[in-house]
């Protein structure tokens, strides 16, 4: 039995030596030192030995098993290190390779123009108000001095959802809602938002576009306040040289009503393709809030007055950045929007 043990030990030591990977060595361990391996068998077979030989043989088997285990662990440590080294060799990275630049997103040009306009008015003490895009006919038209059947409703061809509900055609209903909510108190708001009209899409018209409304209500608010505010606004948006001009116009909710032009920022007023040789560019509609609108919202027109204006930021962005087709703002073509990426930090 002792000879059998020695032969077995030699065989295992040889197999350990021959193993070239962690897996092979593990197989050797399981095959020879495992519960079903020959060393365990030897221990089990000791019962057949005479009683006085058993302790000696038991000690021999244990020593052999310890020796084999020790050799196996040393070999295992070497093979494991070898495996790690091979993996590190394979995974080497070249830190000198130039990196790939990450594409950076940015605000949409239209968002930037809206934010620029908002910032200007906020700096003048205005608050930003909001209203629903799905609006009642009452706020979109009636409360703005446009009763049912009024011919001026055709100025803004509408998408009706039901007889009394439509997609708002302008941001002016927020005027009516704000005045109603404020119950006679002073008001100084702007309202940016989406509006909808049954216009045919072309280079300067879209069925869905953006407007920014402005409204100031208080005691002794005059046309000169409107003119001063819009003049400052034009200089901020289009340069300090800009002059403004107010032309008489008509909106049912303002009286008097005006349209505002700015002196052409390209030619300075001499006439060019941007201003269609007139020297002036139309920017927005405005006027003094109609007494009927004030009364309907619960104000006393003999005590308070106010001005309002409404502009289309797409048209302003087109002028400012020389964009020829309004549809570019909505198609999300990366070649278009990336032209306006901010370079400053």
Of positions 310, 318, 319, 329, contacts ligand FA5 by CB under 6 A: 310
Contact between 109 and ligand FA5 by CB under 6 A: the answer reads no
Contact between 170 and ligand FA5 by CB under 6 A: the answer reads yes
Of positions 121, 139, 309, 329, contacts ligand FA5 by CB under 6 A: 309
Q: What is the CA radius of gyration of the chain?
A: 43
Query: Looking at beta carbons only, is 61 or 293 nearer to ligand FA5?
Result: 293
User: Is residue 321 a contact partner of residue 109, using CB atoms and an 8 Å limit?
Assistant: yes
Contact between 209 and ligand FA5 by CB under 6 A: the answer reads yes
Q: Is 125 exposed, middle or buried (0-12, 13-18, 19+ CB in 10 A)?
A: exposed
Q: Which of 193, 136, 138, 134 is nearest to 167 (CA)?
A: 134
User: Is residue 170 a contact partner of residue 195, using CB atoms and an 8 Å limit?
Assistant: yes
Contact between 211 and ligand FA5 by CB under 6 A: the answer reads yes
Contact between 312 and ligand FA5 by CB under 6 A: the answer reads yes
Among the listed ranges 43-51, 110-118, 126-134, 201-209, the one in contact with ligand FA5 (CB under 6 A) is: 201-209
**Structure-token match 């008001």, residue found:** 187
The two tokens of residue 223 are 């046309």
Among the listed ranges 59-67, 92-100, 273-281, 312-320, the one in contact with ligand FA5 (CB under 6 A) is: 312-320
Query: Looking at beta carbons only, is 5 or 173 nearer to ligand FA5?
Result: 173
Contact between 199 and ligand FA5 by CB under 6 A: the answer reads yes
Distance of closest approach, residue 325 Cβ to ligand FA5, in angstroms = 12
Q: Is 24 exposed, middle or buried (0-12, 13-18, 19+ CB in 10 A)?
A: middle
Q: Which of 88, 80, 82 is nearest to 22 (CA)?
A: 80
Residue numbers at the binding site for ligand FA5 (CB under 6 A): 156, 170, 172, 197, 199, 205-206, 209, 211, 213, 251, 254, 284-287, 308-312, 314-315, 326
């Amino acid at each position: 039995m002792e000879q059998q043990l020695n032969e077995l030990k030699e065989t295992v030591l040889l197999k350990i030596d021959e193993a070239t990977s962690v897996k092979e060595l593990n197989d050797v361990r399981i095959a020879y030192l495992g519960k079903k391996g020959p060393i365990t068998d030897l221990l089990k077979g000791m019962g057949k030995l005479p009683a006085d030989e058993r302790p000696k043989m038991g000690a021999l088997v244990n020593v052999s098993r310890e020796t084999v285990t020790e050799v196996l662990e040393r070999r295992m440590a070497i093979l494991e290190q070898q495996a790690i080294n091979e993996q590190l060799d394979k995974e080497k990275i070249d830190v000198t390779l130039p990196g790939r630049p990450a594409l950076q997103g940015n605000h949409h040009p239209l968002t930037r123009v809206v934010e620029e306009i908002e910032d200007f008015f906020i700096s003048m003490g205005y608050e930003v108000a909001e209203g629903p895009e799905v609006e009642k006919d009452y706020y979109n038209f009636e409360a703005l001095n446009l009763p049912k059947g009024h011919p001026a409703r055709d100025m803004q061809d509408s998408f009706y959802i039901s007889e009394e509900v439509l997609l708002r055609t302008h941001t002016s209903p927020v005027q009516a809602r704000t005045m109603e909510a404020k119950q006679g108190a002073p008001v100084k708001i702007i309202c940016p938002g989406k509006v909808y009209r049954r216009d045919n899409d072309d280079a300067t018209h879209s069925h869905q576009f953006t407007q920014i409304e402005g409204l100031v209500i208080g005691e002794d608010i005059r046309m000169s306040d409107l003119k001063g505010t819009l003049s400052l606004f034009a200089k901020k948006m289009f340069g300090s040289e800009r002059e403004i001009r107010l032309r008489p116009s008509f909106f049912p909710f303002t009286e008097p009503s005006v349209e505002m032009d700015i002196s052409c920022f390209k030619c300075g007023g001499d006439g060019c393709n941007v201003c269609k040789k007139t020297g002036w560019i139309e920017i927005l509609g405005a006027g003094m809030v109609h007494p009927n609108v004030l009364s309907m919202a619960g104000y006393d027109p003999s005590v308070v007055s106010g001005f309002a204006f409404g502009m289309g930021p797409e048209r302003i962005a087109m002028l400012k950045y020389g964009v020829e087709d309004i549809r570019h703002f909505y198609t999300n073509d990366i070649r278009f929007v990336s032209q306006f990426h901010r370079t400053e930090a």
